[in-house]
Amino acid sequence: MQISDKQKYDKVIELSRRRGFLWRSFEIYGGTSGFWDYGPLGAALKRKIEEEWRKIYVIGEGFFEIETPTIGIKEVFVASGHVNNFVDVTVECTKCGAEYRADHLIRDATKPLVFEHGEDGTFSHVLETNVEGLDVKELDKIIREDDIKCPSCGGELGECYQSNLMFKTSIGAGEKKVGYLRPETAQGIFVDFPHLLRFYREKLPFGIVQIGKAYRNEISPRQGVIRLREFTLAEAEIFIDYMDDTHPTFERVEGEKVVLYPREDQNDEKEPKEMGIEEALNKKMIENEFLAYNIALAHKFLTKIGIPKEKIRFRQHKEEEMAHYASDCWDAEIETEQFGWIEVIGIADRGDYDLKAHSTASGQDLTLFKSFENPIKTKKKVIKPKMGKIGPVFKEKTPLVLKKLKEGKNEIKDGKISLEIDGEEITIGEEMYSLEEVEEEVYGERIIPHVIEPSYGVDRILYALLEHSYREESLNLETDLNLNDEKEDEKRIVLGFNAFLAPIDVAVLPLLTKEELIKKSRDVVEILKRENLLADYDDSGSIGRRYRRQDEVGTPFCVTIDFETLEDDTVTIRERDTMKQIRVEKKDLPNVLGRLREGEEFLKGP
């Protein structure tokens, strides 16, 4: 990374704060790490990203959306494994008390830096292995051997220890119940599984999506909007039959090429490779069609919203990185100038981990009856009670004993069967029953579905989009006739969003602040509003400066109202990227803008 006098990240954040995309939360009180507000334009951009995601998963895939609480009871997260496993290794300075995430501290203290003149240098050494996923003892050993100090004060660091990353809270004002802010939206879906199964008429595969806030009590978030304590996830939980991993609409992604970085290539220090999604499946690089399909779908989404293909790769988790619930996981990563490759989407095979865990903890049946194509004849041994022996011994409890025996969930040990009746354990001796082999037809079996989960980090995607949309241009003043040759406008900043994502759909600008032009401009704004277009009216400053203001927030089109408009009811449409203009009749304006927003070539006109 070439370090300039002002890095791109700083420029993007400065623009975002100045123009209302992103602000530090609680700023008037000094703020706190890990929290950011979305301003008017940031909230609009975020909402449009989420709507594009819904178009893919809700409309395209047919997955219905639900909404569950952001606070969960302790039992849910004990069962899910988050209470015991959602942890990071922490280290504290013995001098100033500052806390750090140990693996990030080590990484930052040892990574190579590239200075402006191009020479390499390091604080210590380049690590031989990825420190993420190492345990407490291994991280502590590296800190001691490298003599890593506190970055804040240079003090000695204490011993590493584990910290749970969930926000703990109390539910209720009286007898308080322990709760946690959810670390993912998924658990709300899993505990609703019985309802969802009925909703989908007990047929696999099916998917459910949820977009909402999740929380991670980061130890020392120091990467701006990349590492947050409160963030938005867009997640799909896709329930499949593990015996049939054939995706019903795989042809939709056939031919999609993606850059893959499997764990074997990472271990061997090889470069990522581009290949078709079918080839990756055939080579067993990706383990099943559902996983491959969702990798391709994520690639389609990222490129559609404007992330360059060459900046996207899919990296497979190494064994030591894997979440406690995952059997395989691929991260969609986007290359950024400030942070290198950052994870923006995790596509995990969660297997039957979650449903099995919640079934065990709750005692509820979270299985699905899977019918066989043809009934299967099987032989099995069944218990036949001997009434003459059971009745005299158990008397009035005999009906309960017979019911328990009929359920067939009885384990025979040393010829005896133990049963629990009304809290009392009783023993059925071998003289009280016989075993009889019977043949029966079996029409199906109960299975626990497996889960494929694409989890999108909306905030990181939004930042990456801002960075990759940001550009600075030197202008040939003759290319934009309305600049009025202002020297300060010899350069411009542009956010090159795709038109369908831009926070402002169109700007309406009177050429001058003349009453007749202002009235006509206001009329145009009302016409555009009726077409559900967000139109921004601006009459402050020269027309050149107003164009620049719209360019730097990504507005794709500016409609200019001038004196010719008063004569023939035509208006000028200026396109952001080329700065070229066409003139159209006012009555055709909504139709032309609609076609342009869908990607029609600009100079075709009405």
pLDDT digits over 37-57, tens only?
A: 999 999 999 999 999 999 999
Structure tokens at 216: 């991670």
- The whole-number pLDDT of residue 133 equals 67
Mean pLDDT of the chain: 90
Model confidence over 245-273: pLDDT tens digits? 899 999 999 999 999 999 999 999 999 99
Query: Is the predicted pLDDT of residue 475 greater than 70, yes or no?
Result: yes
- The whole-number pLDDT of residue 109 equals 78
- Give the CA distances from residue 121 to residues 109, 117, 337, 603, in Å, rounded to whole numbers and listed in that order: 12, 11, 19, 51
- The whole-number pLDDT of residue 489 equals 56
Query: Is the predicted pLDDT of residue 112 greater than 60, yes or no?
Result: no
User: Between residues 36 and 430, which one has the greater pLDDT?
Assistant: 36
User: Residues of CATH 3.30.40.230 domain(s) within the chain?
Assistant: 87-164
Query: Is the predicted pLDDT of residue 71 greater than 60, yes or no?
Result: yes
- The whole-number pLDDT of residue 405 equals 85
What whole-number distance in Å separates Cα of residue 561 and Cα of residue 520?
Answer: 7
Residue 520 has φ and ψ, to the nearest 5°, of -65, -40
Query: Is the predicted pLDDT of residue 127 greater than 60, yes or no?
Result: no
- The whole-number pLDDT of residue 603 equals 67
Structure tokens at 97: 């008390």
> What beta strand segments (E) does 120-196 contain?
120-121, 161-164, 168-171, 177-181
User: Residues of CATH 3.40.50.800 domain(s) within the chain?
Assistant: 477-604
Helix (H) or strand (E) holding 470: strand 470-474
* DSSP structure class, residue 337: T
* DSSP structure class, residue 318: P
pLDDT (average), residues 371-390? 88
Structure tokens at 383: 């218990």
pLDDT class of 117 with cuts at 50, 70, 90: very low
Q: What is the CATH number of domain 477-604?
A: 3.40.50.800
> What beta strand segments (E) does 16-112 contain?
22-24, 36-38, 64-65, 71-73, 87-92, 99-101
pLDDT class of 123 with cuts at 50, 70, 90: very low
Query: Is the predicted pLDDT of residue 120 greater than 50, yes or no?
Result: no
Chain position carrying tokens 């719209």: 550
Model confidence over 162-204: pLDDT tens digits? 888 999 999 998 778 999 999 999 999 999 999 999 999 999 9
CB 475 within 8 A of CB 492: yes
Question: In the chain, what is the straight-line distance between the N-terminal and C-terminal CA atoms, in Å?
Answer: 45
Query: Is the predicted pLDDT of residue 3 greater than 60, yes or no?
Result: no
Query: Is the predicted pLDDT of residue 114 greater than 70, yes or no?
Result: no
- On whether the 87-164 domain is CATH 1.10.3720.10, my answer is no
Query: Is the predicted pLDDT of residue 29 greater than 80, yes or no?
Result: yes
Structure tokens at 561: 């109202």
CA pseudo-torsion sign 463, 465, 468, 473: negative
- The whole-number pLDDT of residue 406 equals 80
CB 95 within 8 A of CB 150: yes
What whole-number distance in Å separates Cα of residue 88 and Cα of residue 507?
Answer: 47
Instruction: Choose the weakest-confidence range: 89-98, 227-236, 291-300, 479-488.
Output: 479-488
Instruction: Choose the weakest-confidence range: 368-382, 397-411, 544-558.
Output: 397-411
- The whole-number pLDDT of residue 76 equals 98
Assigned fold of 8-86+165-354+451-460: BirA Bifunctional Protein; domain 2 (3.30.930)
User: Residues of CATH 3.30.930.10 domain(s) within the chain?
Assistant: 8-86+165-354+451-460
Query: Is the predicted pLDDT of residue 95 greater than 90, yes or no?
Result: no
- The whole-number pLDDT of residue 136 equals 85
Instruction: Please state at what angle helix 102-110 crosses helix 136-146, rounded to 10 degrees.
Output: 30
pLDDT class of 224 with cuts at 50, 70, 90: confident
